[in-house]
């Protein structure tokens, strides 16, 4: 997790290069696996058979929930999610897609429509994309009570479905834990009721596991952490530990069989690249052999306990600590002067915290709205590194106060 610069400076990256780095960097064995794959097959069209793709499918089936069986490999999370949307439209013969505000699902002109933020200035709004309010947008209205915010989110999902007609929706896309918005897991009740809504109306439930997959939340998949049972999971990032590009969507058995029978005409030239598949196979072996998923859960509890301690020591600065495993968030609070007037927004305070930590050699990843900071280090992070980070955060928060 240490990044070295040309001038000799180093910094510890607590964002894991945007959640990618789960097994750690600089693994010499990964280079050997990739070199071995180039000697066997350096590239082949995604339409052709490749033994390494079949082997990766078996590896995925060994860790996935048993109902998810049929992968479609891609290059990244964005095109994997687009494949999932196309597949949902194909089998349901519907057009609309529902997602949550403040969510993030990718960065193409199509996929940005299912993200929960505003479009780029040169974007193209698609009429089939609908949004319900997410727990993060309802947290204040819920009295800063996350279970209540999730209940309000469920009510809004139901409201949006009724406005447009539930039978017009092909898919509902959710992150098991909303990453960029601030490491916010779905409540178990929300996960269960979303599944029931999709069953009731014949909607495909797609879990965006690009960030939460492959151990990040202390289980193999974020859906397992929150009790979500999706019809498909979308992967990238930690799938290869960042050693090569690869994405995938894995469909449940019935959906996958229909797609195998009728076809899914979707794919980029380098989709399912053999080197990406080799990197993914090696990553899964490392996660299993070194028990890094279990370590993520245990070391994540240690980091969370430390962040909770900071919250107790700085009650006027830290509003909330949340997340699972090594996807954690520290929400800052807006400042108040002695007479109750605003004395600096949460985003301003978080910005100063990020700047102070960087001077001390710790690089933090801000929330999308800038109101807090995320922690998503590799699962190999040490107790000593965590202790150092917590000391830096304490000193920096003390100065902010």
Secondary structure (DSSP) of 229-269: --SEEEE-GGGTTTSS--EEEEEEHHHHHHHHHH------T
How does pLDDT run across 63-94, given as a tens digit for each residue? Answer: 999 999 999 999 999 999 999 999 999 999 99
Domain boundaries, the chain: 2-23+292-400, 28-289
Is-contact 332 344, C-beta < 8 A? no
Looking at residue 400, the DSSP 8-state letter turns out to be H
pLDDT at 342: 44
How does pLDDT run across 11-26, given as a tens digit for each residue? Answer: 999 999 999 999 999 8
pTM given for the model: 0.95
Q: How confident is the model at residue 30 (pLDDT cuts 50, 70, 90)?
A: very high
What average pLDDT does the segment 232-239 reach? 98
Write out the CATH class of domain 28-289: alpha beta
What average pLDDT does the segment 20-43 reach? 94
* Averaged confidence pLDDT in the chain: 95
How does pLDDT run across 333-348, given as a tens digit for each residue? Answer: 986 544 444 458 999 9
pLDDT at 338: 45
pLDDT at 47: 87
Q: What are phi and psi of 179, to 5 degrees?
A: -80, -70
Q: What are phi and psi of 235, to 5 degrees?
A: -125, 160
pLDDT at 335: 65
How does pLDDT run across 263-300, given as a tens digit for each residue? Answer: 998 889 999 999 999 999 999 999 999 999 999 999 99
pLDDT at 356: 96
Q: Is the pLDDT of residue 151 over 90?
A: yes
Which tokens sit at 364? 């933090």
Closest-CA residue to 280 (of 214, 182, 227): 214
Q: How confident is the model at residue 2 (pLDDT cuts 50, 70, 90)?
A: confident
Alpha-carbon distances of 299 from 65, 291, 292, 324, 361, rounded to whole Å = 24, 12, 10, 11, 21
Strand partners, 173: 206
Q: Long-range CB contacts (< 8 A, 24+ apart) of 152-155?
A: 153/100, 153/190, 154/189, 154/190, 154/193, 154/194
Burial of 303 (0-12, 13-18, 19+ CB in 10 A): buried
pLDDT at 336: 55
What average pLDDT does the segment 238-249 reach? 97
Q: In sequence order, what are the residues at sequence separation of 6 or more whose Cβ sits closer than 8 angstroms to the Cβ of residue 185?
A: 176, 177, 178, 217, 222, 225, 226, 322, 323, 324
The percent of residues in the chain predicted with pLDDT above 70, rounded, is 98
pLDDT at 343: 52
pLDDT at 3: 86
Which tokens sit at 337? 């002067």
Taking the C-alpha atoms of residue 396 and residue 389, their distance in angstroms, rounded to an integer, is 10
Write out the CATH class of domain 2-23+292-400: alpha beta
Alpha-carbon distances of 221 from 210, 215, 293, rounded to whole Å = 10, 6, 10
The percent of residues in the chain predicted with pLDDT above 90, rounded, is 90
Taking the C-alpha atoms of residue 370 and residue 354, their distance in angstroms, rounded to an integer, is 10
DSSP calls for 211-229? TTTTTTTSSSSHHHHHT--
24-52: b (≥16 Cβ within 10 Å) or e: bbebeebeebbeebeeeeeeeebeeebeb
Closest-CA residue to 97 (of 297, 31, 86): 86
Q: How confident is the model at residue 379 (pLDDT cuts 50, 70, 90)?
A: very high
Q: Is the pLDDT of residue 375 over 80?
A: yes
pLDDT at 12: 95
């Amino acid at each position: 997790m240490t990044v070295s610069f040309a001038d000799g400076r180093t910094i510890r990256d607590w964002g894991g290069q945007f959640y990618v780095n789960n097994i750690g960097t600089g693994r010499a064995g990964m280079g050997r696996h990739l070199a071995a794959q180039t000697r066997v097959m350096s590239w082949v069209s995604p339409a052709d058979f490749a033994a390494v793709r079949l082997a990766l499918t078996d590896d995925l089936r060994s860790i996935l929930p048993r109902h998810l069986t049929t992968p479609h490999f891609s290059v990244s999370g964005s095109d994997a999610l687009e494949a999932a949307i196309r597949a949902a439209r194909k089998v349901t013969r519907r057009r609309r897609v529902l997602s949550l505000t403040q969510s993030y699902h990718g960065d193409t002109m199509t996929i940005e429509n299912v993200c929960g933020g505003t479009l780029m200035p040169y974007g193209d709004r698609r009429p089939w994309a609908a949004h319900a309010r997410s727990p993060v947008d309802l947290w204040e209205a819920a009295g800063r009570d996350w279970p209540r915010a999730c209940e309000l989110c469920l009510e809004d999902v139901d409201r949006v479905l009724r406005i447009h007609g539930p039978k017009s929706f092909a898919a509902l896309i959710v992150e098991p834990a909303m990453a960029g918005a601030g490491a916010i897991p779905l409540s178990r009740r929300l996960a269960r009721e979303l599944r029931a809504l999709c069953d009731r109306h014949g909607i495909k439930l797609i879990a965006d596991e690009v960030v939460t997959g492959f151990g990040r939340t202390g289980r193999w998949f974020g859906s397992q952490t929150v009790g979500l049972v999706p019809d498909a999971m979308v992967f990238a990032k930690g799938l290869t530990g960042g050693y090569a590009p690869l994405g995938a969507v894995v469909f449940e058995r019935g959906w996958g069989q229909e797609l195998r029978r009728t076809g899914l005409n979707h794919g980029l030239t380098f989709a399912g690249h053999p080197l990406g598949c080799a990197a993914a196979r090696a990553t899964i072996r490392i996660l299993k052999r070194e028990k890094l998923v279990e370590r993520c859960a245990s070391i994540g509890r240690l980091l969370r306990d430390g962040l909770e301690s900071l919250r107790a020591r700085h009650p006027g600065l830290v509003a909330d600590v949340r997340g699972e495993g090594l996807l954690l968030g520290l929400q800052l609070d807006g400042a108040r002067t002695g007479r109750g007037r605003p004395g600096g927004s949460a985003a301003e305070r978080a910005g100063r915290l990020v700047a102070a930590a960087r001077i001390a050699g710790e690089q933090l990843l801000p929330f999308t709205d800038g109101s807090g900071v995320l922690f998503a280090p590799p699962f190999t992070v040490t107790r000593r590194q965590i202790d150092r980070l917590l000391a830096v955060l304490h000193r920096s928060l003390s100065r902010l106060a």
